[in-house]
Structure 1
């Protein structure tokens, strides 16, 4: 039972309707009780004022010795009329109205003090009534024994009016409660429409289509943070899906040629008869495997950094020393004819991730060495400006044009001259651009008098201790 109730209240619409109807119903009950109390008080106040006026008139007549029944006919008629009774100090009845017959009015629950005492009772004719008791002074013409006067009137009309008022209030309250419940349902349904529309738009999103922003001007301000958070989350999800698709496409694109080479070499080796041909086929296959490994490693690194799986770890480093280190590593690893010459500032200390920065510099230098004509000179150095230091790598690029600059850093794009070996994976500059974004650096390319200039920075100076 409790579990079914919990399931029923899981609905926001039901919770809001129950809360609104319950709250409005409670408010109407309180208003009903307050109005009933006020009306009852007003009716009894008018009845008590009427009683007090008659009691004072009766007291004045008694003090003057004038017969009450003679001047006030309502006290001598029988049935739905008025009554009075006079007691002495001992509680004995001294006089009563003709309408009372032989039965006196019921005594008050206690003797009144200076103020009149009002109370309910059953009248001599059997009807319900209202009475007021007050002390009296008999006066020179009255009975000197008189001490207590009670005047009563029938309250049937007041009771009937009170019941009608109660019934009217109850009907009005029920109608108001029904109207409040209907209004609560309408308001809740209208208020939840934007949320339902937002849910429909979220449900219509598909990984096969472009992301449609959920946050727009039609959303209420209360839903704007939710829509913004969903846009951000779905944006990351779409980016991850796009990275996976791009990775799969890139792998298929990059491995197609080496796999074809390996297959062709294997078929040649299987023909047999010539050990030299078999050794050459194995060498071709090994070179193709190396290119595949280089491509896969580059793609994995790009995917890892683009997805934010690797966070930079800043540490103090000298840019000039880092350039010199990468120059020596490249000189030992390659036999290129191009010569790298360092220039610019002799020292510039900054704070950055040394491993990521080394990979960027290595890719820039390797790209310059592989595409520069044989025997040419490559310049690399640290240029200091007002905004900080910039790493610059300059190499001759006679085959490049201004229209090629936007494609530098594009995956697998290579403008390879005939003399260049087909060992470049086309991922070096793409990885350099990605790592530069990770390090919050700018990487620009421009052509200057036939030279390609790559600028990485700016690097702020390391604060002095």
Structure 2
């Protein structure tokens, strides 16, 4: 039973809020009832004390013969005792009393009632006296408690009925107050899985952060899906051509009876395999970069990375020059920066021409790679670095991913990438690292 209640409270916000508010109301009601009982007893005692004092004054002022008190004595004995009195001589003898056992004589008169024990019961009494007589009037304390209890009971029953009436009203009010959450839930339930438009539902200010965060999440998911669809479509388009060419060359090698044709076709097929392998490698690298992968950085040396990239590029000794003016250690990811250098060198070797000379200059946090080729047009210069973009009329193999990977790697390192044509002819790629990443 307890587990069922816990499950109900855990899965119902309305039930949880109703229970919490009900418990708070119940605690307030109990505290109110306790204070009410205390105040009722206090006020009742004060009122009855004032009445007792007024009755004593009235009776003392109009006190005549003791025979005038006999009807009162008879009346008090026939009913429950509300007030009792005893008229005594100064020597303590009883003149008349409404009680079977008269009050004992008191030491002095009193203006304010006080408490005594008489016949095993507590009494509030007040005393009036002169030189000959003493009048003692008292009231049982239980009468005060009974009146206070009846008053508190009446008020408590009223408060209890109000509490029972409050419960359904409270439940309905909380359900009404949580309707905006149901509106959001209904809007989400009716949505198609591919609907990532922002939620346009009016909600209270307490739920606005939730709606805004959902809208932000929808935007991020939409952007991710769009990037994935765009990348998949572009990659499929670019892979289709080299795979088709590779199949053609293999079929030609299989069907040709001439040895030289078969060797030439197989050579082209191997070149196609290398091109496809390079394309897949670039696609995987770009995919990791597109998803914001940030490998752990370490202290690197640009001259060492440049030397390794030149060796891997297998350029003739007179076709590439490395000039180091000032080398500062940087923090970065050596694999990604090596990929950056290889892509820039591959572009320079393929598009600047066989006779081109490539120069790498390192000056502090500036990496500059230039060639003496023909450069590119101003219109193409603005679009270089876009994925899968290649200037029209290119005869060299390529897919237009090299510079886009270079740009992404530079962004990951907080560096600036500048592409430009040299005044004397040729193309230049500059990567300017942030001085803050120096060790």
Query: Shared fold (TM-score greater than 0.5)?
Result: yes
TM superposition shift of 1:9? 0.6
1:409 is aligned to 385
> Quick one: structure 1 residues 197 and 431, their matched pair in 2 at CA, closer, same or farther if it must change by over 3 Å?
farther
Q: 1:168 to 1:289 in 2, by over 3 A?
A: same
Verify the 8 A CA contact 2:125 2:136 in the aligned structure 1.
Answer: yes
2:331 and 2:437 in contact (8 A); partners too: yes
Q: Structure 1 CA distance, aligned partners of 2:311 and 2:51?
A: 118
Q: Provide structure 1 residue ranges, at least 5 long, that are not aligned to the other structure.
A: 98-103, 123-128
* 2:125 aligned partner: 133
2:345 aligned residue = 365
The match for 1:220 is: 205
Q: CA deviation at 1:426?
A: 2.2
Larger deviation, residues 111-120 vs 174-183: 111-120
Q: 1:140 to 1:264 in 2, by over 3 A?
A: closer
Mapped partners of 1:177, 1:136: distance in 2: 51
Residues 207 and 349 of structure 1: CA distance in aligned 2, closer, same or farther (over 3 Å): farther
1:46 corresponds to which residue?
47
Aligned to 2:431: 456
Q: How far did 1:49 drift?
A: 1.7
Aligned twin of 2:4: 4
- Give the number of aligned pairs: 430
Separation (CA, whole Å) in 2 of partners of 1:112 and 1:416 = 126
Task: Quote the Cα distance in structure 2 between the aligned partners of 1:363 and 1:112.
Answer: 117
- Say if 2:146 is the partner of 1:171: no
Residue 15 of structure 1: how far off its partner (Å):
0.8
Greater alpha carbon shift after TM alignment, 38-47 vs 360-369: 38-47
d(CA) in 1 for partners of 2:140 and 2:65? Answer: 19
* Greater CA drift, 194-203 or 298-307: 194-203
Supply the distance in 2 between the matched residues of 1:371 and 1:327 (Cα, whole angstroms).
Answer: 17
TM-score by length of 2: 0.78
Which of the numbers 305, 309, 322 marks the counterpart of 2:305? 322
**RMSD value over aligned CA atoms?**
4.5
d(CA) in 2 for partners of 1:249 and 1:260?
17
- Alignment-derived partner of residue 26 in structure 1: 27
Q: CA deviation at 1:451?
A: 3.7
Contact 2:367–2:432 (CA under 8 A) maintained in structure 1: yes
* 1:66-465 paired onto structure 2 within 5 Å: 66-68=64-66, 70=68, 83-86=84-87, 94-97=95-98, 104-105=99-100, 116-117=113-114, 132-134=124-126, 137=129, 139-142=130-133, 149-151=136-138, 163=150, 166-168=153-155, 170-175=157-162, 178-179=165-166, 182-183=169-170, 185-187=172-174, 189-190=176-177, 192-199=178-185, 208-210=194-196, 212=198, 220=205, 224=209, 226=210, 237-238=221-222, 240-317=224-301, 319-330=302-313, 332=314, 339-343=319-323, 345-383=325-363, 389-396=365-372, 398=374, 400-415=376-391, 417-418=393-394, 420-422=395-397, 424-449=398-423, 451-460=426-435
Shift of 1:27: 0.8
| C-alpha distance in structure 1 between counterparts of 2:13 and 2:105, whole Å | 62
Gaps in structure 2 of 5+ consecutive residues: none
Deviations for 1:320-369, whole angstroms, at most 9, x for unmatched residues?
44334423432x2x579x93344572434333222221211221122122
SS at match of 1:9: helix
